[in-house]
Chain A
């Protein structure tokens, strides 16, 4: 015997809708909550425009690089981060966009960039850590010489990071850049994580609703929740090296480095409904 519902589903829905409206009206009548918008009525953030990263596999994995968002690529040395960076730069400059590279460790190699197809005319290269200290009087200089000696090593690392943060702030406020890259690739993880979260939030807010892609490469994730897209790359195998290492008899003549085989793993993407989980892709670089 089937039970007949006393109230139909549609009627329940109507009741809930009416009740919800009444609740909102009651809440908005309270002076303290007058300006508060319920979470259910917040505007949906528009989906960002995506641009090509220059690597087909990365585009297939992430959908491209989101404009108006912070994208972070992390990985250890020789993992292929810089190769992805150059590919993104090449793609952006070929789109006629003006790009900026904030090079904290002054590690950019123009010849690699030229081989990757970067248009230097549209690339602003900022080499941090270059400005000399202000000249002090001899007396004052002697007095603080000892203190400075101990802190010199720390300052050598901190100063470029500070400069990079200031420069990035200026670039983002200036506007009009299609791609702004912060290269933290050689910065120690400890130092990169010391960058205050407020700075990343400020950068994220600065690029929001703009056409700028803010791109960070680092050894380990440091932008935390401010990064809309987090990709971890690792050298899956050194394609040329490993095959020759495995060979029993090493070659007698000079060898060639053919490239790197890079594995990219999507660690976070705000653009997807669910966390990306362990989604990976693999691509190979070539020696230019």
Chain B
């Protein structure tokens, strides 16, 4: 079967939200869709699937009104046969229904046996224990982000089981997985891929996986080379006209970059220490420990020297961001000790110390979600106003700094643009740049590659390497394990875990 091409235009009362002429959906193939955050990947996919509100937006698909698109028998069949896994697991689940009821709602109840899916997605946990989790109402704190994500995947796989058992090969399908592994570590991501490809082999159906995780390419090439004929890697990028274009993304581009980029993390012994965090600390009644080995054998202090890049690893929810916020004095620990550029800080240290000596002086931090960390109502220029710089950034200097992470010439209109009107990827680059323009000894980066397209990832990594060479100490927290595992050598990787926890045997390799 060939590609089904959609021409999609979505406008609000004020502006064109997204416009694309060539959104191709290869039928009964697996498409990995990349592109920077906010470019329109989710919105276009939702429009094609028929999930947008026709009254809220002005939508046209292939020249037809959205109301006509929704009435088409093909759209209705797709909705009947397929499933859409939303990016944000919390917004997908209904807080007023138990999970148990939600996973058996509507056509999902036709999939009687879900044990194979459960045992696969929750590989380390007993099936009965997982089923107990389903008896609760989703709350902000339980299930965790990773658990919620797997619950959504469970629903999608149940729908796939229904498809495999009930529908013929000709039934049109369009399974969309919007950032299906955003809250999962590589181990669970790989389990998801394995199950998906196993089902696909049984009966090919149309799959669209929207992701920022370029390392998924390596996994596909490593383990599913036999399926490469059925797999497409595509990327959305913005044209100068403001419209969006879909083009093939060459996996070699990513794999080649990964091979030739090796920062090694910098020299250690000759330089002075910038940060040393004691190996164990306690916060929110949890004791957390830092290790050098993946197997969590020997506790060790986290040490970062000048000109060194260190990567802190742990599964989602263990406390990587918590540790970063502890170093920055944003949480009050029960037990904690560190040396930061010559200043000893413990759990008893008064907050004013960070105010006077640390923030913007000895250390700066880039937060995980650019949308939440930036003032969306401010202009690009105002983002840099108020920073503790020696002199205020003049427009020319600011443009030059922005040019390091943004493409093309920076126009006056861009620096006076409201942050809210930037794409997700642009916001993330701005978020990074705000901290990188300061000359701090330590820079903590929490998910610095979040929401970036491949070109931006390479630019950001070059910029980080430049800062490292200039003598800054960098502490990285990221889900992009493959990138940092490859470009940094082992002595620059630390692991964080509960002090009592040992890594399961099957994940030690």
Do A and B associate with each other? Answer: no
